[in-house]
Structure 1
Amino acid sequence: MSMLITTPRDIGAAIKERRKQLGLGQAELAARAGVSRQWLIQVEGGKPGVALGLVLRLLNVLGMRLALDGPDQLASDSDEILDLPDPSAILNRLRKEGSQ
């Protein structure tokens, strides 16, 4: 199985599809991967911001690999732009607030 992953929703769909192919329930897969069922539900639902290390562990349990290609696919081709906070801006703001 090969598919282009451009959004959290894409990776969630791939995980859910593979889980079902293997005949695993969410609770069983979560136990095998050492994550909570609620967390797995969020991943399968495409929630952005989940921990990458746990996603990679989950993929390993499912016998899947994550491969990256070159710059052929531009980020602007994605139908979803993630609006994530800038960690540096947050740290700078907290430092300024702490020094006052």
Structure 2
Amino acid sequence: MRSVRTEIDSPEMLGFALQQGRLVQGLSQRELAAQLGIGQKWVWEMEGGKPGILTTRLFAMLKATGVRLYADLPLPDDPAKGGSDV
């Protein structure tokens, strides 16, 4: 599967990355929540970049230490090419 790498520098960017991964997998928020054994509201809040104590502290620590967080976002298959690029 093709992917693109991006830096995750905020709760909002983390939420966007998680949302894109979910969509490429063809999952609804409800399906993902059921698969993970959590509530759909939690998935919705994470994808929306809602700040929480964990994400606030995580991104404060990343900034303070100069550590960068990256994610490889899966890209959907290109139907014009007739399937996946492997």
TM-score relative to the length of structure 2: 0.57
User: How many percent identity over aligned positions?
Assistant: 37
Cα distance in 1 for partners of 2:50, 2:16 equals 11
Q: Identify the residue that residue 48 of structure 2 maps to in structure 1.
A: 45
Aligned length: 57
SS in structure 2 at match of 1:2 = strand
- List alignment gaps of at least 5 residues for structure 1: 53-67, 74-100
How far, CA to CA, are the matches of 2:53 and 2:26 in structure 1?
24
The answer as to whether partners of 1:8 and 1:48 remain within 8 angstroms in 2 is: yes
Match of 2:35 among 32, 36, 52: 32
Cα RMSD over matched residues? 2.3
Paired residues for 1:8-27 under 5 Å:
8-27=11-30
Q: 1:3 Cα shift?
A: 1.2
Larger radius of gyration: 1
Q: Deviations over 1:17-53 (max 9, x none)?
A: 000000001100001111100111000000010656x
The residue type paired with residue 23 of structure 2 is K
Q: Which has the higher contact order (CA 8 A, sep 6+)?
A: 2
Distance in structure 2 (CA, Å) of the matches to 1:5 and 1:16: 13
Aligned residue number for residue 2 of structure 1:
5
Aligned structure 1 segments of 4 or more residues deviating by more than 4 angstroms:
none
Unaligned runs of 5+ in 2: 56-61, 69-86
Q: Which has the higher strand share?
A: 2
- Could you give the per-residue CA deviations for residues 41-82 of structure 1, whole angstroms, max 9, x where no partner exists? 000000010656xxxxxxxxxxxxxxx8x7376xxxxxxxxx
